[in-house]
Amino acid sequence: MNRIEELPGIFGEIIAEARTGAGLSQEQVAAAIGASNVFISLLENGKRQPSLTSAILLAWSLGLPPEELVRRVALRLGPPRGLQKP
């Protein structure tokens, strides 16, 4: 099943879960990456997508290696139709 259109929402869910799991507020994460809490809110609600730089900074601010953040998103998203899982 191809759910690529759900990527922004899935990314947002994972960011919100990681943030709350780390006991951080949106304001704390925003300050750590040099962004506004509005930006973090938009990401968590699937209304914005981060740049690669922002995604890496987000992962680090949440105590995650960037590859772990991507792994969590990819697992929840699942592969597009026609592609095999690695």
pLDDT at 1: 45
| Distances from the Cα of 33 to the Cα of 26, 57, 83, 84, angstroms | 11, 6, 34, 35
Q: Is the pLDDT of residue 35 over 90?
A: yes
pLDDT at 79: 82
- For 41-82, write each residue's pLDDT tens digit: 999 999 999 999 999 999 999 999 999 999 999 999 988 776
What are the respective helix, strand and coil percentages of the chain, to the nearest 5? Answer: 65, 0, 35
Averaged pLDDT score across all residues of the chain: 93
Note the Cα 59 to chain centre separation in Å. Answer: 8
Q: Is the pLDDT of residue 15 over 70?
A: yes
- Give the confidence band of 2 by pLDDT, cuts at 50, 70, 90: low
At which residue do the structure tokens 């026609």 appear?
A: 82
Q: Could you tell me what percent of the chain has a pLDDT over 90?
A: 84
